[in-house]
Amino acid sequence: MSQNHFFSSLFTVMRKEWRDFYRDRRTFFLSLLVAPLLYPLMFLGIGKLTQMRAETQLDKNLDIPVVGIEQAPNLMKFLASYGIDTHPAPTDIEARVRAQQEDLALALDPEFAKNWHAGKPAKIDIITDTTRRNGDVKVARVSKILEGYGGSVGSMRLLIRGINPGIAAPLSVGTRDMATPEAKNSQFMSILLPMILTIFAFIGGAHLAMDTTAGERERQSLEPLLATPASRSALVGGKMLAAVALGLLSMLLILVSFKVSATLASGMAKQMDVSFMAMGKLLLTLLPLVIIGTALITALAAGAKSMKEAQSHIMWLMMLPMLPAYGLMAYPLKDTALWQYAVPFLSQNQLIQKVTRGEAASIEQWAMYLASSLTLAAVLWAVAVWRYKQEKLAISA
């Protein structure tokens, strides 16, 4: 078959699949618009709830039960000046904290007053359940105030004795944050955005890829198509190209929706904003993954006798892009090693993080990524073509 005939058949199949897919308007718009509309709204909600929680627990007065409250009246007054009211704790305070009836409590050591007046360290415990996050902002707020109180009293004790408080602090430790403004603003995105983009790039064209193979086989419309003079490679290429176009269009809408929602958001949700240049880099990063996902799903669908059987693969397919994100949470890697850009999903995760942090990937990293990704896509395309050449594919369920 000539090259012109191959591409003519390929684009004819692609137009045919898009036309058939567009006829089912409800499925078409659901496949295309659910993710671009759902996830930015979800992030806006998460950002707003997180902001409201932090503002509420930082600004409003807290009422905290204290064990041994009578031993430290000055400390209680100091806490009250920072909006933390106290009252005597019940005898079962630990059980109440464990049962989430109280977020936290303070417990003064029975020897607190004696040690305090003797100038010795007076022990005070914060009673909380660290496995529950509902009180972590309150705990941090109280801990900071208690540390400030202890530091100021310690300095006063040294001054009374004629000692410079600076002697007790031989080191003045500071931090020089070398992160770029883009990297600081992308902390929220660096965890969730790579996972979401890789998942939807990988399975964005799944419905069309499955419908054009397993769906047509179930509807008994695949056999007449296989009987045409078009080569199996052109048929597979046309069907994959239609699914890839759907996946890329969905990715573009997702990125645009993030951009639009960021302009309407406030607080942490503004970290979703990406520039148009970054959107272009993200699309380039995700293009090979869209092709890989489409080729793999087409090969799997070619072995399924029905649409339901093909759709049964979606659950484990969705898990694949999540594995690097979970692995990096447990064991973070530096993104300088070149081998990382040859590993599917891990390479996309590292490149997406670079883009959102405003960093530039090297030519070697891009070359390794594109070469390995496109090679894998070509291998999966060849597998799908091989599955299409099997005679049993023409036998409907």
| CA distance linking residue 254 with residue 48, whole number of Å | 20
Cα(397)–Cα(307) distance, rounded to whole angstroms?
10
Structure confidence by residue, pLDDT tens digits, 128-170:
988 877 777 788 888 999 998 988 888 888 888 888 877 777 7
Q: Which of 193-197, 205-209, 273-277, 378-382 has the highest mean pLDDT?
A: 378-382
Bridge partner list, 108? 124
Indicate whether this model's pTM tops 0.85.
Answer: no
Which strands make up the sheet holding 62-67, listed edge to edge? 84-88, 62-67, 104-108, 124-128
* Segments in 24-70 forming alpha helices (H): 25-59
pLDDT at 124: 92
Residues 186-218: pLDDT tens digits? 555 666 778 888 888 898 888 888 888 888 888
Beta bridge partners of residue 62, listed in sequence order = 84
Structure-model confidence comparison of residues 20 and 377, the more confident one:
377
What are the pLDDT digits (tens) for 219-262? 887 777 777 777 888 888 888 898 999 888 888 888 888 777 76
Task: Identify which of 192, 176, 178, 204 has the alpha carbon closest to the alpha carbon of residue 356.
Answer: 192
- The DSSP string of 189-210 is HHHHHHHHHHHHHHHTTHHHHH
DSSP 278-303: HHHHHHHHHHHHHHHHHHHHHHHHHT
Q: In the structure, what pLDDT confidence band is assigned to residue 65 with cuts at 50, 70 and 90?
A: very high
Beta bridge partners of 247: none
Q: What CA dihedral angle connects 316, 318, 321 and 323, to 10 degrees? A: -50
* Whether the predicted pLDDT of 397 surpasses 50: no
Domains in the chain, CATH or no CATH each:
3-47+182-394 (no CATH), 54-167 (3.40.1710)
